[in-house]
Amino acid sequence: MFNVTRTSRKVLSQFIENFTLDQLNEIPDGFNNNLIWNIAHIVVTQQRLVYKFSGLPLRISGEIFEKYKGGTKPNGAVSQSEVEEIQSLLFETIDQTEADFNSDVFKNYQEYTTSIGLTITSIEDAISFNNYHEALHTGVIMSIRKFI
């Protein structure tokens, strides 16, 4: 169930490894965000979809959540240490989610209707929709990279 997410996260991690800090922070003309914002937003959205709507504490800091949640945009350059934190969260959050899923931690789910009109009613739906969301932002990332 987590193979797609892990593969996605490996691709995202390669962007962090293969682009400079300046490139990760650059917002090309025609875009309202950058590579690192999209990567961090993916982490935050997974936490929101899986943990928040399950009534469980997020596995990321409130600061990271607020900075990269939906409706935000970059508000200055991200430091190298924050990039490293985001990169580690790519894998830590999925490892924790898989462990929690296998331990049957997700007992309840608050129904949530996404921006595309899909109503999520279970943790399985949330994990599935998260993969869709990650793919959307990976596409944006692939577009941005052409302009930096």
Give residue 87's pLDDT: 98
Question: pTM score, two decimals?
Answer: 0.96
pLDDT band at residue 32 using 50, 70 and 90 as cut-offs:
very high
pLDDT at 1: 83
Question: 3-state secondary structure string, the chain?
Answer: CCHHHHHHHHHHHHHHHHCCHHHHHCCCCCCCCCHHHHHHHHHHHHHHHHCHHHCCCCCCCHHHHHHHCCCCCCCCCCCHHHHHHHHHHHHHHHHHHHHHHHCCCCCCCCCEECCCCCEECCHHHHHHHHHHHHHHHHHHHHHHHCCC
Residues of the chain with pLDDT > 70, as a percent, come to 100
